[in-house]
């Protein structure tokens, strides 16, 4: 079996969760964000923001995905999938 030598250890899920929350808060300053850690690379998000008012469900989710796209891009992205996204307005 081949061993892959990692130059730096992969980020801990807690660290990725903090990055997710920070990225969403940066894009949506009034947002309250709850991140649940799932299986490796998988997360669940609950986001409450006034920015979602008047948007349909796809547009609401696109807003969040646009904010976290850098964490999901590429083959070794820290975030593989958002298993569930809950959107609320305050």
Taking CB under 8 A as the criterion, the residue among 40, 65, 86, 88 binding another protein is 65
DSSP characters for 55-69? --HHHHHHHHHHHHH
Residues 4 to 33 in contact with another protein, rule: CB under 8 A: none
Contact with another protein (CB under 8 A): which of 39, 50, 62, 86? 62
For the bound state, the minimum distance from the C-beta of residue 58 to another protein, rounded and expressed in Å, comes to 5
Which of 18, 26, 70, 88 contacts another protein by CB under 8 A? 70
Residue 70 CB neighbours (<10 A):
13
Applying CB under 8 A, among 10, 73, 83, 89 the residue interacting with another protein is: 73
Total binding residues for another protein by CB under 8 A?
14
* DSSP 8-class letter at 75: T
- Tokens 């609950």 locate to 46
Nearest to 35 by CA among 86, 78, 75, 89: 86
Stretch that binds another protein, among 8-16, 34-42, 44-52, 65-73 (CB under 8 A): 65-73
The span from the first CA to the last CA of the chain, in angstroms, equals 52
């Amino acid at each position: 079996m081949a061993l892959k030598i990692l130059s730096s250890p992969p980020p801990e899920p807690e660290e990725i969760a903090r990055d997710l929350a920070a990225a969403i808060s940066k894009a949506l300053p009034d947002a309250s964000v709850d991140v649940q850690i799932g299986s490796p690379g998988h997360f669940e998000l609950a986001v409450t923001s006034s920015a979602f008012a008047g948007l349909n469900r796809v547009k609401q989710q696109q807003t969040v995905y646009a904010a976290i796209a850098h964490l999901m891009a590429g083959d070794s992205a820290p975030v593989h999938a958002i298993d569930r996204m809950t959107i609320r307005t305050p």
